[in-house]
Amino acid sequence: MKRLMKMNPRDTVAVALRPVASGEVLSFEGLSLTAAQDIPQGHKIALTSFAEGDVITKYGYPIGHAVEAIRAGDWIHTHNIKTNLSGEEEYEYLPDLHPVTYPKRGLTFQGYRRANGKVGIRNDLFIIPTVGCVNGIAEQMLQEFKAEHPDPGGFDNFTVLKHPYGCSQLGDDHRMTRSILLDAVNHPNAGGVLVFGLGCENNIVSEFRSMLGGYDESRVKFLVAQEVGNEVEAGLALLEELYEAAKNDVREPVPLSELNIGLKCGGSDGFSGITANPLLGAFSDFIISQGGTSVLTEVPEMFGAEKMLMARAENREVFEDIVSLINNFKQYFLSYGEPVYENPSPGNKAGGISTLEDKSLGCTQKAGSSPVVDVLDYGVKLRRKGLSLLQAPGNDLVAASALAASDCQLVLFTTGRGTPFGSFVPTVKVATNNDLFAKKGHWMDFNAGPLLERPMAEVLEEFIAYIIGVASGQKTRNEQNEVRELAIFKTGVTL
């Protein structure tokens, strides 16, 4: 294995691909570097000397500036580098589109065609509480139903989409809760849905039902606990109707153009921008080349890399939408008196990420090189094929839930630290390094670590085959572990 890697010819730092000991002499691109300190795996080493204030470059772009004199061979991290970002910026539309495209290959997966024309990769049974008060009863109901039906019949998974909201909310919070739950009812992976309310909540079932628009009455049922005697018995009867409606559903060949892929990262490390995120970027370009769709979110982790995304806007209107997306989220931070640019978590820093630019430039690798064709507000479903940006925070559960709600049938999630969570759609965990994949194989689905030694084209082909398998019914680790969750964004007061 190579000892160091530079991400772009313009870079003034390299990444240590294994731990480097103080005093170790490294030969790299004609340089002879003596490590001045121990440098952990995934962290940065200076390729040149810097004076205080000098800009430091990685991925071909600035990731901050030196806060003290730095010598070639020094470890560069949070003790000697600081972000260049501060406040709001002025943006100019400067298109710079260089998409990587792949030949159309006519590949298919085995999916479920819905009556409304959408395609699911799962036939899942959802119980969707309109309010958190009934979460426990919904879970009791589902466990009794599963006991009566050890064979899932036509369903792939049984899930209660538990959440703490639906009441004591006002304004945007009430709207966002309702929007995400409506999105879940209408999700293409849902083969049957029981909407379950209490009866006195703000998110009242009758109003919720009227907002659904047209829906398949054989696949969506409603229950209000306060309106029946025994709500568990009434719920079991409705679940039985859904079970009967779905038991003969079968998969059929569907072109890859029907796939909507969510792109997410969490617990990033110094390898995220080298292995797993570029792999997702290559896959995003591939699926778009086949006529499909990918979605990038985590707006705070676009800060510092937003100009790259703006330069890829399909037209000026999309550019203006990206500007609004970025500035509105900055205002959200500032309205609470919080710093905009202090994003990297302790886990990120331990893994080698030093500044928000460092994190964001690695994070946006997941979006490949395709043009941005649309910008979606939180809770809005996909409108166009190609690459869209979605308004949501960086929080893993909230962002992954937002991707799922937008009609992504699965979420691709890269991580260098590891996490067991899963959204209510299949959540493919892609390890950035071999050690994590070996240690947490019961959490992880795919290993991008071999990209340190193997060509992208080879690993991408393996990943394409794996994703087609998942889309055709192969269960992800979060599904196998029965970890399927929903988290909803909240900004305001609780009554």
pLDDT score of 160: 98
Task: List the helix and strand counts (H, then E) for the chain.
Answer: 13, 23
pLDDT tier, 345 (very low <50, low <70, confident <90, very high otherwise) = confident
Distance separating alpha carbons of residues 195 and 174, to the nearest angstrom: 17
Looking only at the bridges linking them, the beta strands covering 124-129 and 44-46 are unpaired
Q: Residue 365, CB half-sphere, CA atoms under 13 Å: how many?
A: 27
Q: In Å, what is the CA distance from 221 to each residue of 180, 216, 241, 490, 491?
A: 18, 9, 9, 27, 30
Residue 342 above 70 pLDDT?
Answer: no
> What pLDDT sits at residue 184?
98
User: Beta strand 31-34 with 25-28: parallel, antiparallel or unpaired?
Assistant: antiparallel
Using one digit for the tens of pLDDT, what is the confidence trace for 369-412?
999 999 999 999 999 999 999 999 999 999 999 999 999 999 99
Domain 4-82 has CATH 2.40.50.100: no
SS3 per residue for 286-325: HHHHCCCEEEECCHHHCCCCHHHHHHCECCHHHHHHHHHH
Residue 14 has pLDDT above 70, yes or no: yes
Residue 88 pLDDT greater than 80, yes or no: no
Q: Per DSSP, which regions of 352-425 are E strands? A: 372-376, 386-390, 410-415
Spatial separation of the C-alpha atoms in residues 71 and 407, rounded to whole Å: 50
CA distances 228 to 129, 198, 209, 211, 223, Å, are: 16, 10, 18, 23, 8
Average pLDDT over residues 233-251: 96
What pLDDT score does 111 carry? 98
Sequence ranges of the chain with CATH classification 2.30.130.110:
4-82
Distance of CA 339 to the CA centre of its chain: 23
DSSP character at residue 15: E
Mean pLDDT for the stretch of residues 297-310: 93
- Start and end residues for every CATH 3.40.50 domain found in the chain: 124-248
The distance in angstroms from the start CA to the end CA of the chain is 57
- Compute the average pLDDT of residues 4-30: 94
Q: Hey, which residues does 46 pair with through a beta bridge?
A: 13
Average pLDDT of the segment spanning 152-162: 94
Q: How far is CA 113 from the centre of its chain?
A: 24
Q: What is the predicted pLDDT for the residue at 348? A: 85
What does DSSP say about strands 55-58 and 81-82: parallel, antiparallel, or unpaired?
Answer: unpaired
- Which of 38-47, 239-248, 264-273, 314-323 shows the lowest mean pLDDT across its residues? 264-273
pTM of the model: 0.93
Question: Which residues partner with 113 through β-bridges?
Answer: 119
pLDDT single digits (tens) 347-375: 888 888 899 898 888 899 999 999 999 99
Region 124-248: CATH code: 3.40.50
